[in-house]
Amino acid sequence: MLKVRVGTRTSVLARWQTDHVLALWRALEPSLAVEVVAFSSVGDDMAEAPLEDMEGTGFFSSRLERALLEGAIDVAVHSYKDLPVAMTPGLTVACVPRRGAVEDALCARDGLRLGELPPGARVGTSSLRRVAQLRALRADLEYVSIRGNVPTRLARVERRELDAVVLALAGIERLGLGARATEVFATETVLPAPAQGALAVQSRTAARRLNADLARLDHAPTRHAVEAERVLLHALHGGCSVPVAALARVERDRIRLEAGVFALDGSPAFRVVSEGVSPEATGAEAARALLGAGAGAVLESLARTRGVAVEARR
């Protein structure tokens, strides 16, 4: 009998993600014995800090990673986009299950779509990437930075504090709240965040037997797509979330990566497509194409105006 301690964040969505991974695992290992250990994250504790300064920086993953390194747990389940692009030494992503929905969704009062919201309507979102792309569609709306889990954000629309919120479709679907979406944005309109909709199951690199068991849950097309997206992200910035979007798809062993960098006022916007067989080469090529088109100036401008550490690698 395999016995493991699995770490998770305390939010209802994080628990769903952990339960989902465990269901996949138990389907292959019926005798699996699991102890689930819940942790609050630094990001959860810093309830007032802007989320755009947290995603992909370790705020939502560092406590789970520390517990792994200290041996308090054996496995951690993350939303992949929460993991820093540079892997923590001693840890590995043992498997990446099949990806969920990648799109962003509008959840608005009265069933409204984005184009039907009145001028000046208040739209809540935690993402600079979303704000930049939505402003290109509706510059007349007020975009409000919000924190909190999915039900908390939706409740602000119910109370009419906000006219709408924009969330990852995967998250609301996983919580059985997909009917709350009043519009699902095509990726051609709103390009998602790197690794959106994907989960990362992390363990210690030295746990070879455990990692071999987890590898059976790996969905190679998802892993390769997400790796290409994260290579792009790593090449374009370090430390803080910026308006970088990416979506890779794998077809017949070839990776097609669409990537974009967007100014916060909605213009200019840079979008490129890169294709290849290697996630590393495909992501790096897309980053070079974006910088060659002038996206570096947008990233550097953001660093100056927001005071965040953004590095456009050339």
Domains of the chain: 3-96+198-218 (3.40.190.10), 104-184 (3.40.190.10), 229-306 (3.30.160.40)
Catalytic residue from among 122, 130, 174, 204: 130
Active site residue 147: yes
pLDDT of residue 266: 82
pLDDT in tens, 153-165: 999 999 999 999 9
Distance CA 258, CA 276 (A): 12
pLDDT of residue 231: 97
Q: Are 273 and 249 in contact (CB under 8 A)?
A: no
Catalytic residue from among 9, 63, 122, 129: 129
**pLDDT over 70 (residue 60):** yes
Any bridge partners for residue 271, and if so which?
260
Catalytic residue from among 63, 153, 156, 223: 153
Phi, psi of 181 (to 5 degrees): -75, 125
What's the pTM? 0.89
| Least trusted range by pLDDT, from 62-66, 218-222, 241-245 | 241-245
Q: Are 36 and 19 in contact (CB under 8 A)?
A: no
Closest CA to 183 of 172, 194, 175: 172
Active site residue 306: no
**Cα distances (Å, whole numbers) of residue 121 to 87, 182, 220:** 40, 15, 42
Active site residue 99: no
pLDDT of residue 237: 75
Distance CA 48, CA 109 (A): 25
pLDDT of residue 102: 98
Burial 81-119 (b: 16+ CB within 10 A, else e): bbbbbeebeebbbbbbbebbbbbbbbbbeeebebeebee
Q: Residues 119-140: what's their mean pLDDT? A: 96
Copy the structure tokens of residue 223.
């892993």
Catalytic residue from among 98, 147, 249, 256: 147
Active site residue 82: yes
Catalytic residue from among 9, 63, 74, 82: 82
**Residue 85 DSSP symbol:** S
Please give the span between the terminal C-alpha atoms of the chain, in angstroms, as a whole number.
Answer: 50
Active site residue 81: yes
pLDDT of residue 238: 44
Catalytic residue from among 9, 63, 74, 81: 81
